[in-house]
Amino acid sequence: MTAGIPSSRTARQGLIASILDAHLIGSQNELREYLIRAGVDATQATLSRDLDDLGAVKIRVDGSMAYRIADQTMDTGERLARWAREILLSAECALNQIVLRTPPGAAQLLAAGIDRARLDGVLGCVAGDDTVLVIARSEERAVEIRQHLLSMGEKKE
């Protein structure tokens, strides 16, 4: 890091958040270039950890994939409820699995919200472009989780 620029992780992550807010950043290399221009050098491993710490996920923005950070002022439950309202299109159970449909490019955001909310009975989830596969501990729990997600996604007028 260059003299005059704070070298703490918090300062670097603050700069990353500012860059992601101001620019469409589609790759860690592109993010690293912006950081270098700002006088901050970080390895790919450091950037990966920072993006994870910040809760950054890649979503489709104006037809391109770009990193975005979830609203940090909300707790994880509020964030998941907001995302469920905005992007959860449908949810179907198959045994202990729940298949969630989203608009194209939004599945990663919903999956990250589910992971961060640490819902009871969720063993894990995998996201594609417009589909999230949630694995539940049991068939019964899958039905409960599906209903919980759908109720979170109900539009509040």
The CATH number assigned to the domain holding 95 equals: 3.30.1360.40
Q: What is the pLDDT of residue 4?
A: 42
Q: What is the pLDDT of residue 74?
A: 54
Please write the tens of the pLDDT for every residue from 47-68: 999 998 888 888 877 778 888 8
**Could you tell me if residue 148 is inside a domain?**
yes
Q: Does residue 103 carry a pLDDT above 60?
A: yes
Q: What is the pLDDT of residue 68?
A: 85
Q: Residues 44-75, buried b or exposed e (16+ Cβ, 10 A)? A: eeebeebbeebbbbbbbeeeeebbbebeeeee
DSSP 46-60: HHHHHHHHHTEEEEE
**Are 64 and 86 in a shared domain?**
no
Count Cβ atoms below 10 Å from residue 94 Cβ, excluding itself: 10
Please write the tens of the pLDDT for every residue from 22-35: 888 999 999 999 99
**Could you tell me if residue 1 is inside a domain?**
no
**Could you tell me if residue 37 is inside a domain?**
yes
**Are 45 and 96 in a shared domain?**
no
Quote the number of domains for the chain.
Answer: 2
**Could you tell me if residue 81 is inside a domain?**
yes
